[in-house]
Amino acid sequence: MALRVGVIGGGQLARMMIAPAVELGLELRVLAEDEGMSAQLAATAVGDYRDLEVVRAFVADVDVVTFDHEHVPQEVLRALVDDGVAVHPGPDALQFAQDKLVMRARLAELGVPQPDWAPVRDAAELQVFLDAHGGAGVVKTPRGGYDGKGVRVVRSADEAQDWLGGLAEGEALLVEELVSFARELAQQVARRPSGEIVAYPVVETVQRDGVCAEVIAPAPAAAGRLVEVAEGIGRSIAEGLGVTGMLAVELFETDDERILVNELAMRPHNSGHWSQDGAVTGQFEQHLRAVADLPLGDPSPRAPWSVMVNILGGPSEGTMGDRFAAAMSEHPSAKIHTYGKAPRPGRKVGHVNVSGDDLDDAVYTARAAAAHFD
């Protein structure tokens, strides 16, 4: 009987696991938050991932559980593990992707390079940190942030008063030094429960308004040392935290050429969408292989350059289908991926991948194809 993989969360990441699951001969089932989500093409149950009994019913007939997002509560994850369910990544690893303060403390223990940081409980503590770091810092809510929500640059403790005031007893915010970075990078690795690890080339990510806009793989002008340092960081975090499945490590390359870890994602990640069409083994196939403890695939690029451009918002007039047809006919070398989501301003509704020998050509074609959806 085919191995059954259960994915908690019905967004586009679960959706993009469907095709590789079919090819690998795996049976994919999805626990979606609502009807009509991106992953509804797979056998989909609908229910609340925070409700242990809902999740227990969903996992009753799967062999391994994995995720489209990192929000399943620790209590639910630990109960599943106690029930004997194979959960990848497991709760011990996932806690570091769920809480940025817990992550910072653990990365410090592992000796991984990261921005200066501190937990702050009140305005006085925050002001002490700001005063020691040139009067500026980046305040983050440790849990539940995404796409730049829950991240704020501040130059005085007053500017975080609303968040500080909302803290419950025993809670803290994370404050980090305001890193002067030349660019942002991402390193992905995949790790199996049995320990095998493969690393993708480090990529450059470009964010607009806190949201990933474009990715270039591999990162241009990535000197040998940068490639080695980034890969070493990815491997040591995957091993040190016991991550299973895909791990994405978001990195800053500083003006003085240091590499610092920004944050972690333990699932396929926007920075790896290029690999669907640009690598021998795409990240969604790799994630499935890893969580099912199958031999990992070759992560090598299939072309000198791959470029990914996100489609944000979607068309203000006409339908996605019309735009899709026009983009396909004008840019036959572009691989256009749509998520089956209703367009809304700022919402990720798809992406375009283009690979080739010439970086400028690939960037131009990917942007031109994506522009059909503006």
- Contact residues for ligand ADP, defined by CB under 6 A: 115, 138, 140, 145-151, 176, 178-179, 184, 207, 210, 250, 262-263
Whether the CB-CB separation of 72 and 12 falls below 8 Å is answered with no
Select from 258, 264, 236, 235 the least CA-distant residue to 146: 264
Smaller CB separation from ligand ADP, 204 or 263: 263
CB of residue 188 vs ligand ADP: minimum separation in angstroms? Answer: 15
* 25-32 own/partner pairs: CB under 8 Å, 24+ apart: 26/2, 26/288, 26/292, 27/2, 27/3, 28/4, 29/4, 29/5, 29/58, 29/61, 29/62, 30/6, 30/68, 31/6, 31/7, 31/55, 31/58
CB of residue 177 vs ligand ADP: minimum separation in angstroms? Answer: 6
- Six-digit token pair at 181? 């970075």
| DSSP-based three-state secondary structure for 116 | coil
Select from 55, 58, 54 the least CA-distant residue to 42: 58
| DSSP-based three-state secondary structure for 253 | strand
Smaller CB separation from ligand ADP, 55 or 185: 185
Q: Which conformational region is residue 4 in: left (phi greater than 0), alpha (psi within -120 to 50 degrees), or beta? A: beta
CB of residue 251 vs ligand ADP: minimum separation in angstroms? Answer: 10
Smaller CB separation from ligand ADP, 198 or 312: 312
CB of residue 127 vs ligand ADP: minimum separation in angstroms? Answer: 17
CB of residue 368 vs ligand ADP: minimum separation in angstroms? Answer: 25
Smaller CB separation from ligand ADP, 252 or 324: 252
Q: Which conformational region is residue 111 in: left (phi greater than 0), alpha (psi within -120 to 50 degrees), or beta? A: left
Task: Give the whole-angstrom CA distance, residue 259 versus residue 181.
Answer: 9
Smaller CB separation from ligand ADP, 85 or 139: 139
CB of residue 310 vs ligand ADP: minimum separation in angstroms? Answer: 14
Alpha helices in 99-223 (DSSP H): 100-110, 123-132, 161-165
Smaller CB separation from ligand ADP, 147 or 196: 147
Smaller CB separation from ligand ADP, 262 or 353: 262
CB of residue 360 vs ligand ADP: minimum separation in angstroms? Answer: 25
